Amino acid sequence: MTRAIIMAQGKGSRWTTSHRHHMDILATHKQLLPVGDETVISRTIRQLKELGISDVWVIAGSDIFDQIGDVGCYSLREPTGSIIQGIIGIRHLWMNEPDVLFVLGDVLFSNAMMKTIATHKKSAFFGREGGNVVTGKESKEIFALRLVGNADHSNKFYGKLIVLNTETSMPIKLKLWDLYHYLFSQGFMGLISLIANDYTDDTDTPEEYLRFFHLLQASAISDDEKYRE
């Protein structure tokens, strides 16, 4: 069985601050931005469950837990914006799992992308090397990581995480894209898939929210309607 772990452990500080200036930002966390009658994170949970992944955990603060319903929850003692630090902090949830999927909780996934992620059975990164087809945003992104293997495989992966975390002078800034390039440079896992040619994306700042989120939201709602037909 696949264990899905949604990483949503950020403090939400950028969104709390911007809320005072942009009244159309209605949530203190990106994960709680509305998508039709759902939020970003509740939509991701629904997508995973509809694709047969029932063992879903959310790593976040209690204010997000209140919004997500019947899934496993785990709160880090010290919320951090670093995905790398977050994965290290919850190692007890994945070190002994033969198949674990890490998913970013603030991303709007197309249904096609989520199906690819959910049905993939090898260790892989999932992201985008080029621009977004809806927004034109050019930045490269990694949105999810699948880790499949035995305990030795997971221990080696954990060791690489520790090294990456300790070698950087700014661990708070580390993203999955940093981990992808680090593992590639180390020749680890034979590496790995990059799959995304649709709108799958997030908004990194309040300014990007104002520019892009309504386009991504409309694409997500339209995609859900087509997927349910």
Q: What is the pLDDT of residues 45-95, one digit of tens each?
A: 999 999 999 999 988 876 777 777 767 777 776 656 588 888 998 999 999
pLDDT at residue 151 tops 60:
yes
- Closest-CA residue to 200 (of 220, 180, 218, 229): 220
Q: If you average pLDDT over every residue of the chain, what do you get?
A: 81
pLDDT at residue 184 tops 90:
no
pLDDT at residue 24 tops 70:
no
Of 12-16, 20-24, 30-34, 144-148, which one has max mean pLDDT? 144-148
**Domains in the chain, please, with CATH?**
3-228 (3.90.550.10)
The token duo for 7 is 């990483």
Please list, in sequence order, all residues whose beta carbon lies within 8 angstroms of the beta carbon of residue 158, skipping any fewer than 6 positions away: 88, 91, 95
188 φ/ψ angles, rounded to the nearest 5 degrees = -95, 140
Give the confidence band of 128 by pLDDT, cuts at 50, 70, 90: confident
54 φ/ψ angles, rounded to the nearest 5 degrees = -95, -20
What's the predicted TM-score (pTM) here?
Answer: 0.88
